[in-house]
Amino acid sequence: MTPDRPAEPAARRRDASRSRELLLRAAVELFTERGFDRTTTREIGERAGVDPTLIARYYGGKTQLYIAAMNAEFGADPPADLLDEDRLRTLLDGVLRRGPGPAFRVTVQPYDDPVVQEAARTQLHSRLVGPLREHFTRVGLDRPQLRAEVAVAAFVGVMLGRGSGAFDRLGEADPDELLVLVRDLLGGTLPRG
The predicted-structure confidence for 76-99, as pLDDT tens digits, reads as follows 667 888 888 888 888 888 887 777
Mean pLDDT of 157-175: 89
Confidence of residue 9 (pLDDT cuts 50, 70, 90): low
Mean pLDDT of 46-63: 93
**Confidence (pLDDT) at 135:** 92
Distance CA 156, CA 154 (A): 6
Distance CA 124, CA 103 (A): 5
**Confidence (pLDDT) at 106:** 81
Distance CA 182, CA 88 (A): 9
Mean pLDDT of the chain: 84
Confidence of residue 3 (pLDDT cuts 50, 70, 90): low
Confidence of residue 153 (pLDDT cuts 50, 70, 90): very high
Q: Is residue 75 scored above 70 in pLDDT?
A: no
Residue-wise pLDDT for 96-146, tens only, equals 777 777 677 788 888 888 888 888 888 889 889 999 999 999 999 999 999
Mean pLDDT of 24-50: 90
Confidence of residue 193 (pLDDT cuts 50, 70, 90): very low
What percentage of the chain has pLDDT greater than the value 70?
Answer: 86
Residue-wise pLDDT for 12-31, tens only, equals 556 888 999 999 999 988 88
What stretch of H or E contains 169? Answer: helix 168-172
The pTM of the whole model exceeds 0.85:
no
Alpha carbon of 96 to those of 20, 77, 161, 181: distances in Å? 26, 22, 12, 15
What percentage of the chain has pLDDT greater than the value 90?
Answer: 35
Torsion sign, CA atoms 171, 175, 180, 182: positive
